[in-house]
Amino acid sequence: MAYPLSPATLEWQRKARDYAERELIPYEEHAELNEGLLPPEVAARHKALALELGLSRLDAPVEHGGLGLPKLDQVVIWEQLGRVTNALCWAVSEAHDWMFQACTPGQLERYVRPMMDGRRCECYAITEAQAGSDPGAIATTARPEGDHYVVNGEKWFVTSANKADFVFLQAVVPRGTGEAEHALFFVDIDAPGVEMVDNPRFGHTFSSHHPTYRFTGVRIPAANRIGRPGDGMSYTRSWFRRERLMIAARCCGAAARLIEMGAEFAKARVVSGRPIADYQLIQAMLADSLAELWGARLMTYEAAAMQDRGEDLSVVHTHCSMAKLTASEMANRVADRVVQIFGGRGYMRSNAAQRFYRELRVDRIWEGTSEIQRLIVARSLLKRGVDGLIG
Ligand SMILES: Cc1cc2nc3c(=O)[nH]c(=O)nc-3n(C[C@H](O)[C@H](O)[C@H](O)COP(=O)(O)OP(=O)(O)OC[C@H]3O[C@@H](n4cnc5c(N)ncnc54)[C@H](O)[C@@H]3O)c2cc1C
């Protein structure tokens, strides 16, 4: 018994699994021991294969050269890619469907299409030293000046900025009236006034870093503003929604691999004359893990399917938060248990369980911490009631 998926979705699942198992997983240990880096020819092959598979275009509309896949198919694909450690599945940038609603033809040509064919890479700069969980508190400004905006501020944790050509930057636009509004901008990373001021090390070994960037008097053309005045943070919310769903998917994939590894090891490892799989304390860890994975996976698939059915976006938004919350917390518990099942071997960096144990931790933090997901769910519950959210 498995979740009923169409033959087309199952074919995507097979292709993504094949790419993960044959191309990416064999290089995890190399990446772990080399600051996340792969030999250049291997990295180039991974990128070429990812482009050939269409991973940069899954969500882009067909009329713009994308694959326009249902969200359920995308979740199934990202679940398989989540089986890989060291972020080796981040071989290409991905264009999202909201970009085609938000961006002008010129922006699509200059920034979004080059992401789809692997020519340009993006990063997202929202978080600041004093604005993480509350992006409404950001202090970076984009002050209108003729046909330009002038950007000043500092952004933290800008994932993949070390590989990026441009930044999706969230800033506050002060108005003459003394009011202000939030807006999203394209900023070229090599524009004068853009500088990396810190590059901290984090708990995982990824070639994508999370540096701090300072923007000092950066002049960007007015044409680089994304969306219309008044759109505020709506496109940032679209981005959050998609990322939360795909994080949930990746967490499910990671948990599935962890459980498989834990079960295999438990059957083979003999302690006090018996395989540890015979011991009920070990069985309980495996059983809890599988049951929790199944619950998280169903939630994740359903959040995607709701979007495909065109259900109310506010309700979908809540479901994406529930899926991210449930799946990321679940995957962390699973990683902890599987490390435990491996005993001392679970503490070795050569063991994928050890790497997942470190890597999955951030899934409870980025794209909104678990606490923030709970607040989103609770606010929606108090507004819509149980029936309004889950029938
Ligand atoms: C590796 C990494 C990569 C990242 N990549 C990016 C990126 O590419 N782009 C980007 O813009 N950002 C990125 N981030 C930032 C990330 O989204 C933030 O770290 C996250 O949103 C939390 O913000 P904060 O770190 O400022 O924590 P804070 O907001 O300071 O929160 C601290 C603690 O307080 C809790 N808390 C806050 N408010 C409440 C509340 N109302 N009720 C209860 N508890 C609360 C939080 O849950 C957390 O436990 C990244 C972070 C990391 C670690």
**pLDDT tens over the chain, length 391 residues:** 688 999 999 999 999 999 999 999 999 999 999 999 999 999 999 999 999 999 999 999 999 999 999 999 999 999 999 999 999 999 999 999 999 999 999 999 999 999 999 999 999 999 999 999 999 999 999 999 999 999 999 999 999 999 999 999 999 999 878 789 999 999 999 999 999 999 999 999 999 999 999 999 999 999 999 999 888 889 999 999 999 999 999 999 999 999 999 999 999 999 999 999 999 999 999 999 999 999 999 999 999 999 999 999 999 999 999 999 999 999 999 999 999 999 999 999 999 999 999 999 999 999 999 999 999 999 999 999 999 999 9
| Nearest protein Cα to ligand 1, atom 14 | 157
Please tell me the distance between residue 322's alpha carbon and the centre of ligand 1 in angstroms.
17
Ligand 1 binding pocket includes 167 (Cβ within 6 Å): no
| Ligand 1 pocket member 124 (CB < 6 A) | yes
**C-beta of 162 in contact with ligand 1 (< 6 A):** no
Identify the pLDDT of residue 348. Answer: 98
Report the C-alpha gap between 332 and 83 in whole angstroms: 14
Q: How much is the pLDDT for 176?
A: 78
Shortest CA distance to 352 belongs to which of 82, 160, 75, 16? 82
- The atom of ligand 1 lying closest to the CA of 135 is 21
Q: Closest Cα to residue 93, out of 126, 71, 119? A: 119
Query: Would the CB of 130 count as within 6 Å of ligand 1?
Result: no
- Considering only CA atoms, which residue is closest to atom 4 of ligand 1? 157
Ligand 1 centre to CA of 248 (Å) is: 17
What are 365-376's pLDDT values in tens digits?
999 999 999 999
Between helix 234-268 and helix 352-359 the angle, nearest 10°, is 150
Helices 71-81 and 7-18 cross at an angle (nearest 10°) of 30
Residue 173: predicted pLDDT: 96
Beta strands 180-188 and 166-174 are antiparallel
Q: Does ligand 1 lie within 6 Å of residue 243's CB atom?
A: no
User: How many angstroms is it from 365 CA to the middle of ligand 1?
Assistant: 6
Is-contact 213 165, C-beta < 8 A?
Answer: no
pLDDT tens by residue, 309-366: 999 999 999 999 999 999 999 999 999 999 999 999 999 999 999 999 999 999 999 9
* Count of residues in the chain: 391
Contacts of 228 (CB under 8 A, 6+ apart): none
Contact 277, 267 (CB under 8 A): yes
Distance in angstroms (rounded) separating the CA atoms of residues 152 and 140: 6
Q: Which of 122, 124, 154, 157 most suits a substitution to test ligand 1, by most atoms within 8 Å of the C-beta?
A: 157
For residue 298, the model assigns a pLDDT of 98
The answer to whether the pTM exceeds 0.75 is yes
53 lines ligand 1 (CB under 6 A): no
Asked if 110 and 95 count as a contact pair (C-beta separation under 8 A), the reply is no
CA distance 292 to 168: 35
pLDDT for the residue numbered 1: 62
Q: Candidates 366, 374, 375, 379: which one to mutate for ligand 1, based on the most atoms within 8 Å of Cβ?
A: 366
For ligand 1, atom 41, name the residue with the nearest CA.
372
Q: How far is the CA of 27 from the centre of ligand 1 (A)?
A: 30
Q: Specify whether the CB–CB gap between 123 and 167 falls below 8 A.
A: yes
Separation of CA 172 and ligand 1 centre (Å): 19
Q: Is residue 90 in contact with ligand 1, taking CB distance under 6 Å?
A: no
For residues 58 and 116, is the Cβ–Cβ distance under 8 A?
A: no
In ligand 1, the atom with minimum distance to the C-alpha of 203 is 1
